[in-house]
Structure 1
């Protein structure tokens, strides 16, 4: 398994994976559905400007099978990182997301030195919750009626991993 930055030439592969209603049902609405090559090119162009890299293609045997990324928080949350990921449906149930998340958490801890890493998961996405649990995340809270997806009001489960990083307290 390999995590590597997205490239423009990956747009077709990303569109094939991401243009999937079952994936879209588990992500925020800002991800288009249907998901086209143009959507992929636009997104890759946007994230390629992030330094250091925050979003990666997940590859297995050289084939793109998913995405994993981070959103760095700011202001008083500047030592917090939100993570998100998806794996193409043909690759579900193979442990890919679990392995990718382990690699990605290590990267995030080294590059960004967060105190806390978290993911929000819709109540129906038990598989994603299991991926997080296997990587040392714990269920911190359930945000009731937190999201509206497909016309349904959903609870969002907040999974957290606290890191060993320290921040000097200035008084």
Structure 2
């Protein structure tokens, strides 16, 4: 799968050759600070290779790279929730700092919403964002997500507690029951 999102950028499946781009763009404390602690920091090529193999083996329909003609510059993906929440998914994303502020992530999230609702038949997509991650909050808002709630001091990262902002968007179309 490869989906153009404008200006020479695409969303596509992970390739084995993406490790150097993911490592180069992801090995940045300004990215890691906004991610869960499982996000590698430092983000080595070896860790990127392991991640690519995991995604290709287990999550190739739900996790994608954002790339230009030269390399992978970021990622976007969802985690479908289990049991009674099976029509809901959590979205996550990151992009290399040189690409911040140009609307690229807004285009990627917009594509992912369409993919989740129209191709995967999901009803709800949500994101939890750390209180200080204003750029991600703005991306979600531009894409139609609404703030559903704030879990006060629910995140512990870098020896401090932070509020967790929960955003969501709901598919208003009827979803056929399986």
Aligned residue among 99, 111, 116 for 1:108: 116
Aligned residue among 54, 74, 83 for 1:75: 83
**Aligned: 1:89 with 2:97:** yes
Aligned residue among 30, 38, 57 for 1:30: 38
1:144 Cα offset (Å): 0.8
Residue in structure 1 matched with residue 28 of structure 2 by the alignment = 20
TM-score of the aligned structures, taking structure 2 as reference length: 0.89
CA contact (8 A) 1:113 1:165 kept: no
C-alpha distance after superposition, 1:34-54 (max 9, x if no partner): 111111111111111236511
1:65 Cα offset (Å): 2.1
Query: Where in structure 2 are the equivalents of 1:84-163 lying within 5 Å?
Result: 84-163=92-171
Query: How many residues are matched?
Result: 170
Unaligned runs of 5+ in 1: none
How well do the aligned residues superpose, as a CA RMSD in angstroms? 1.6
TM-score of the aligned structures, taking structure 1 as reference length: 0.93
CA distance in 1, matches of 2:68, 2:50: 24
1:167 Cα offset (Å): 4.1
Cα 1:113/1:168, change in 2 over 3 Å: closer
